[in-house]
Amino acid sequence: MNIQEITDNDYKDFVCPACGIIDRFGDKWSLRILVLLDNHPVLRFNELQRQVTSISQKMLASTLKTLESHGLVNRNMYAEIPPRVGYSLTPLGRSLMEPLKGLINWTLDHAAEIIGYRDRASGQE
């Protein structure tokens, strides 16, 4: 079933579970991490932390663990001294990027319009 086939009766069975899955990468940090990993074959933890400004070490570790547990990110340990860990997108994570890029591009295309509506609604215009 796809979104065009969903009726009001199907909403609870199909849309609600989809929202639960989208919530897994729709938090404050996950999208940023996914986009960075899409632009780089492999990034180390410290490289990710430098690129994702204002994220704490604990939050980055937690977010990476969550993305890994959902099959979107690989954690690769390299047999080196000192130990080295690299993060990359899984095939599932890569397949997510095209639709995410579409959403990001839509947001960029309509940012001024959305901000204008928000400002009018809050009386800042």
- pLDDT tens digits, 36-53: 999 999 999 999 999 998
Q: Across residues 13-33, what is the average pLDDT?
A: 79
pLDDT in the model for residue 82: 84
Q: pTM of the prediction?
A: 0.80
Q: Which helix (H) or strand (E) holds 62?
A: helix 57-69
- Give the pLDDT confidence of 54-90 residue by residue, as tens digits: 999 999 999 999 999 999 999 999 888 888 899 999 9
To which residue do tokens 């947001």 refer? Answer: 107
Contact 85, 44 (CB under 8 A): yes
Contact 93, 72 (CB under 8 A): yes
